[in-house]
């Protein structure tokens, strides 16, 4: 098994309230989950109107499939018109020996 964790930080320029932020964040998270049965959570900046941070866990049976899924996530994020990506951090998780 191969796995990676992504942290995605975004700016929501047109958000004027936490309520509007939720209207943007909720469909974004659900879309990521449906993309490939990913585990997604809002992990930071909960009280900030125009910023959000998400954690995405990605698992695959081999390295090629893992890279394909990472590319799908990045394309999906880049296609979101209401969000401007400010930072993406990718960490590969290694299986323990044994």
Global pTM value: 0.86
Query: Residue 59 pairs with which residues in a beta bridge?
Result: 3
47 lies in some domain: yes
CA distance 51 to 49: 6
CB-based contact 69:60 (threshold 8 Å):
yes
Residue 10 domain flag: yes
Domain assignment present for 42: yes
Tens digits of per-residue pLDDT, 33-61? 998 878 999 998 888 899 999 999 999 99
8 burial (CB, 10 Å; 0-12 / 13-18 / 19+) is buried
Structural domain containing residue 79: 2-93
**Chain-centroid distance, C-alpha 67:** 15
Q: Quick one: which H or E segment has residue 3? A: strand 2-11
What pLDDT, in 10s, does the model give residues 63-80?
Answer: 999 999 999 999 999 998
Q: Report the C-alpha gap between 53 and 55 in whole angstroms.
A: 7
pLDDT in tens, 2-39: 999 999 999 999 898 999 999 999 999 999 999 887 89
Q: Supply the CATH number for residue 26's domain.
A: 3.30.70.1120
What is the domain count for the chain? 1
Question: Higher model confidence: residue 1 or residue 9?
Answer: 9
With respect to residue 76, please indicate whether it lies within any of the assigned structural domains.
yes
Q: Considering the domain boundaries, does residue 98 fall inside one?
A: no
Q: Is residue 71 part of a domain?
A: yes
């Amino acid at each position: 098994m191969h796995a990676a964790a992504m942290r995605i930080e975004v700016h929501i320029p047109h958000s004027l309230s936490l309520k509007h932020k939720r209207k943007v964040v909720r469909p974004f998270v659900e879309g990521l989950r449906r993309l490939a049965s990913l585990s997604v959570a809002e992990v930071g900046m909960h009280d900030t109107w125009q910023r959000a941070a998400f954690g995405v866990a990605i698992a695959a049976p081999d390295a090629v499939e893992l890279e394909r899924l990472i590319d799908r996530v990045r394309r999906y994020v880049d296609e979101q018109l209401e969000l401007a990506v400010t930072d993406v951090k990718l960490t590969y998780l290694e299986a323990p020996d044994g």
